Every structure is written in structure tokens, then in C-alpha cells.
Structure 1
Amino acid sequence: MPAAPTPSASLWPTKVAQSGLTNFITPYAMARSAIFSTQVYRGQSARPRYLEKTPLTSVKGMSVFQLAGEQLDQNDADVFYELLRRVIAQGDGSAREARVQFNRTELLTALGRARGGKTVKLLSESLARLTDATFYFEIPGLFTGRSRLILKALTAEEMQTLEYDYDVLIDVELSKLLAREQWAFLRKKERDSLAGDPLAKGLHAYYATHKDPYPVRVDTLRWLMGRQTMHPSKFKKALTDSLANLKSATGWHTCEIVNAGGDMAKVCVVKKPPQAKKPVKTSSSSQSVANHNIKAISWDAIQSPIDLVHLSANELVALMDDQAKSEWAALSGTHNTRDEGSAWEAARGILERQCVALIAVRYPGTDPYDI
């Protein structure tokens, strides 16, 4: 006797469907790969077109390939994330496809775009690219297979019986990319404030998928952001500006390039400032011994200047040698060291040079940022 068919449950994770949905949602596989390039394509700047299975840059642990269609960009990402948000808000992920119907002026308003012939044309072009693009994912334990972003996009011009300007079918196969908590919210207000800076948008999506981001080489980000054809020095300049915009939009504590020399340059993003620890009361006779022990233990634990970003301003000052303390004293008159953020930035800048020198002695000829 054949087994009875198993009822089809909703494919969208319950936690996602119940989370308010006023913000965008991105699967890690999209934010941590070059599916949505941050490159600006205009005029004679032709988009790459994929005619065969081609690997896209992605982080370790996943492989993403584009099988067909043109390279997508951050404008396409805005459109797709808004459509995905609406699909999840509808709450029905049991079907093979999910329908989203909308009028162009309403969608443009939701995207924060002005209404007009040019923006309507750009929207139509984005929908066409999103429909043509086909991908293959290899994500162990999550999803291995082929998927499109949009299965079909009909317009009122093509089908006059349509009640709306567009009738779009999203591939629900994409819901597999959101399983096992492999997704992150993109705060729409923050992303909207980054309009005009596609690189900052790409960085925003990438770092949104990390609770405590680890330092990443500048050149690694150049490829992840789809800027591999851009000269490294020009990319570093653009990256510096976009990191400043990212910090302003998000309020994250640190968004900067550390040790900007050559291939050793890495991007350091710290979302929350280190928490200052309450001082431990000690007797005057044991004070010097206590300070010595804290310094010795802390330096033993620090293997790279990157480790300094996890220390408070007081802990940074406690690590300073005589020369660093002299620099710190000189800076006290020019920095508002009563302000925690300002004090931390100043102390870390001084201590970073001391740390690099120390590691050069410990591990001669080694990149101090790659220990």
C-alpha cells in the first residue's frame, strides 16, 4: 500500500515570517557572495553576461555559481529584497512558487525612488535581469541545487487582464537558503540612507550577517563586492569613503581600514564599543603587583593588533609602555579622553604601533595582522 503523501508545510522559517517584516531579509548566501555586485554599470560599462556555469566569489564554506543571465547589481538587490519581503509577509511558502502583484508607482515609492519614465525603465530592466539570472548553490547541509530568483514577471502590457502593473513569481526554492538561521535582517532605514553608494550597501549586507565581524583583507572584500576589475588603490579609496558612510548610517563603533600598507591592509568593523570593566579595589601594597599581572596576562593573550579592538580604553592604557604612555599624555590635551569613544580611538591608535613592534620581535618576518 503506498504511503500517504506528507502534508506540505511552509518552507519559510517560522521565525522569519513572524518578525515584523518592516526590514529586508537576506540569506547569507547572497550577502556573502558576489551575486549582487557593487559595481556601477552605466553607459559603455557593459555588464558581464554568463553563458555557462561560472563561479562567483564567496566566503569559505559555500560555493555560488551563475549559470545564465547578466551580472546583478545593488539596484537589482533593492528590488529583489523588497519582493522577497512581500513574499515572506504573505506567509505561504508551501507552494513551489509565490506570487507578488504590484503597481510600479507603489513599488517605486516603497523603494524610495522618484517616479518618472527613467525610474520605471530601470525597474523594468531590473525585473528582466532578476528573471533571466540563474544560479547554482553548493552549501553543505543547507542547499545544493539550481535556483532562479524570479520564475516569471508579467506586465499589464503583456497581459491586459492583469489587475496590477506587474505579476511576479518568486522561486520558493530560495527558502532553503534561509534554513538553519542562515539569514539576517537588513535595516531598511539604514540601507535607504546609503542610496547612491552601492559599495556601502554591499558592505552593509555583508556585515549584517556577522554579529561580531572578523577582520577581512581589503582585497578579499574587493572580490566579494564584485569590484575585481577596479584598481586596488582606487578600491581602497572608495572603500574608505564607503566605510565612513556605513558607520554614519549604522552607528557602528568602528568601520575602518587598519594598517593600510600593501597587502596587509584589513577592514575592521566593530559594531558595539568595548564595555569598560569596573575597577577592582586592591590594597596599596598589592596595587603594583596587580597592575603587573594584568599587563602580563593581557599581552600574552594578544596575538595580533586586531585583538586590541576587543579591549576597553582603560585596558588599552594599562598595556602601554613608557613611550606609549608619553604619547598618550601628549594626546590628552588634544582629545576629549573623557569621552569613551574618543579615548578608545586614541589609545588604540597608539597601542597598535607598540603591538606591531612587539610582534615583529616575537615572529620576525610575519605579517602582524595574520598571526
Structure 2
Amino acid sequence: MSLEKTLAQLEASVAKRNPESFPKRAAPTSSTDKVVQLPLWSEFRRGIPNDLVRGALFTVGNARMPRAYRKSMVIASLGSIEITYTGEELRQDDEDVFLQLVHLARVSPLGKEVSFTAHSILKALKWPTNSRSYERLKETITRLQATGLELRSPHHGYSGSLVRDFAWKQEDSGAPSRSWTVRLEPRIAALFDNVSYTQIDWQQRLELGTLAKWLHSFYYTHRSPLPMKTATIRKLCGSTTKDLSKFRQLLRDSLQELLDVGFLSKAEIERGSDLVHVTRTSG
């Protein structure tokens, strides 16, 4: 069975359960075109490559502080993941937007334009639908487009941007349109194989604060998370909180958020060893 037919059957199966989730798929331009496409997941999930959220690529930086510009910076990452990054610092709000763009792109061949309204993105993110948010969204997508990322792990290598390009049209009045298009790099699909990406509960994420969002993504990539020192988590999440005791309190509060939304069933910071123990809720 061809790839196109397999994808069509998968989409039809999911769309039958949730018909509003899937726009019509663009057909390949010829029978010999190779379709490169992301996996399909439900409307209530968001997919992310594990390697992108097991470190400080998307930091927990303070929204009140200017973003640093990074040139060929080695990103703190877990284990054997090596990431070198050039571009403006990415934070959890950038991850939110990237998750939503990838979600929209999953039903079209990668490299094809993905069209959407800015209003629909803002609603999905639960951002206010005002002019300031429109500008913030545009700046965020532009930042994702201007990234230079080199990733190496035992199973994958990738060099490129997170968003290939971003465009919008001008209205007759001269004002910028709020109907936008993006394209993702087709090669990024390699990071979404069956064992290298995670489907995150979107509603849980939207209810969380900055550090809790980072922990949510990070622990989602581990079925049975191993204990980890508080100082290690501080490094991996890109926190600039120098006082470890202050960060430890922020961490406690964020772990409680994960308990409150039902993502974790247990969480504690062990006295003496300073090891963070968490247990994910089954299911």
C-alpha cells in the first residue's frame, strides 16, 4: 500500500471521531512525489521531538528580561544530545507557538504552505486577542524562523531552522493581514519517528506556569523519570536564578502545579541528597 493511501486511511480514522480537526489534505503534485509528513495525533495533543525539550533550547527565562542573542552556543542538554544554537533566546512561549504550528502542519505534506488566521492561533494559545498579542505572535514566529539549529543525538542529526519561512499579505488599506502562512522544513520529520517524539496533553500545558511547562515537556519524554538533582534541573531548564534555595522553592511550586493538573501522582525533593523524585500518573 502506498504512503499516500496509508496516511489517508489514518487521517480518515481520526477525522471520523473528530471531523472538525482535519482540513482537506493537499494532494501530491504527481504520483512520483515523495510525501514527507508528520505523524497524526488528536486535536487534544501536541507533538514535539524529545531532543528539543530535554534541555535548555526553550528556556524558563524571565519575560521581564531582554532575550539574549546566542551565536553557536552549546545548549545544556540531557545525556548524549548535542545542540548548537544561533539566534535569539527561545523561551516557553516560543515552544507554545512552535507546538501549535507543528500541530497545524501535521495534516499537510511538509514544505507545503500551512495557512491560518492569527486569531485562531491566539485562541488556541489562550492569549488575549488584542493588537499587542498579534504583534507578539508575529515576533515569535519570526524568531522561530530566524533560528539556526544543529542537533546531534545517537539516532538523529538535524541542521536548519525550526520554521522554514513565514509570510503574510498586506490588506488594500496597507495594514498587515492577519491571515498568515508558514512552512516547516521537510527534514525535521526525521525527529518525529515512533520512538523520538512525544505527544503532550495540550490542555494541561495551557494551565501551567513557565517552569512547570518546561517540567511537563521534559517529564513527558520519560515514562519512568529517574531522580535528578535540583541543580541539574536548574541547568537543563536554562534558569538564571543564581540562588539554588530560591530555585528549589520555585521548583516545589511548579511540581505542585503538575500534581494539581493530574500529570504527576507523586513529587518530592529529598532532603540531604536534593534529588527530585517524581511519578507520572498512569494513562
- TM range, normalised to the smaller chain? 0.7 to 0.9
SS for the counterpart of 1:39 is: coil
The superposition leaves residues 22-60 of structure 1 with CA deviations (integer Å, 9 ceiling, x where unpaired) of 311111011112111111232xx2211012x21101111
Shift of 1:172: 2.1
For 2:73, the equivalent position in structure 1 comes to 54
Matches within 5 A, 1:316-331: none
* 2:218 corresponds to which of 206, 210, 213: 206
Divergent runs of 4+, >6 A? none
What is the alpha-carbon distance in structure 2 between the residues aligned to residue 129 and residue 158 of structure 1? 23
Q: Which amino acid aligns with 2:250?
A: A
What is the alpha-carbon distance in structure 2 between the residues aligned to residue 268 and residue 11 of structure 1? 39
For 2:246, the equivalent position in structure 1 comes to 234
Q: Which has the larger radius of gyration?
A: 1
For 2:121, the equivalent position in structure 1 comes to 107
Q: Which amino acid aligns with 2:129?
A: R
Aligned residues between the structures: 251
What is the alpha-carbon distance in structure 1 between the residues aligned to residue 148 and residue 224 of structure 2? 32
The superposition leaves residues 275-321 of structure 1 with CA deviations (integer Å, 9 ceiling, x where unpaired) of xxxxxxxxxxxxxxxxxxxxxxxxxxxxxxxxxxxxxxxxxxxxxxx
What is the alpha-carbon distance in structure 2 between the residues aligned to residue 230 and residue 69 of structure 1? 24
* Pair 1:64 & 2:78 matched: no
* Pair 1:78 & 2:78 matched: no
Contact 2:262 2:281 in 1 (8 A): no
Q: Which amino acid aligns with 1:56?
A: I
Shift of 1:251: 4.4
Unmatched tracts of structure 2, length 5 or more: 1-30
SS for the counterpart of 2:87 is: strand
What is the alpha-carbon distance in structure 2 between the residues aligned to residue 213 and residue 141 of structure 1? 21
Name the structure, 1 or 2, with higher relative contact order (CA <8 Å, separation 6+): 2
Higher-helix-fraction structure? 1
Contact 2:37 2:107 in 1 (8 A): no
Residue range with higher mean Cα deviation, 177-186 or 201-210 = 177-186
Q: Which amino acid aligns with 2:36?
A: L
The superposition leaves residues 170-227 of structure 1 with CA deviations (integer Å, 9 ceiling, x where unpaired) of 1222111112421111101101111xx1100000000011111111111111111110
What is the alpha-carbon distance in structure 2 between the residues aligned to residue 250 and residue 100 of structure 1? 33
Shift in CA distance, 270/138, structure 1 to aligned 2, threshold 3 Å: same
What is the alpha-carbon distance in structure 1 between the residues aligned to residue 155 and residue 200 of structure 2? 24
SS for the counterpart of 1:40 is: coil
* 2:274 corresponds to which of 253, 265, 272: 265
What is the alpha-carbon distance in structure 2 between the residues aligned to residue 251 and residue 167 of structure 1? 33
Higher-strand-fraction structure? 2
SS for the counterpart of 2:264 is: coil
Q: Which amino acid aligns with 1:30?
A: L
* 1:148 corresponds to which of 161, 164, 170: 161
**Normalized against structure 2, the TM-score is what?**
0.82
SS for the counterpart of 1:136 is: strand
Contact 1:244 1:256 in 2 (8 A): no
What is the alpha-carbon distance in structure 2 between the residues aligned to residue 36 and residue 81 of structure 1? 12
Shift in CA distance, 133/140, structure 1 to aligned 2, threshold 3 Å: same
SS for the counterpart of 2:112 is: strand
What is the alpha-carbon distance in structure 2 between the residues aligned to residue 86 and residue 126 of structure 1? 16
Matches within 5 A, 1:15-164: 16-17=39-40, 19-42=41-64, 45-51=65-71, 53-66=72-85, 68-90=86-108, 92-93=109-110, 97-142=111-156, 144-157=157-170
* Pair 1:188 & 2:202 matched: yes
For 1:337, the equivalent position in structure 2 comes to none
**Normalized against structure 1, the TM-score is what?**
0.63
Contact 1:61 1:140 in 2 (8 A): yes
Give the alignment's Cα RMSD to 1 decimal: 2.4
The superposition leaves residues 111-156 of structure 1 with CA deviations (integer Å, 9 ceiling, x where unpaired) of 11111122112111211211111110011222x2312011111122
Q: Which amino acid aligns with 2:78?
A: V
What is the alpha-carbon distance in structure 2 between the residues aligned to residue 179 and residue 166 of structure 1? 28
Q: Which amino acid aligns with 2:276?
A: V
Shift of 1:105: 1.2
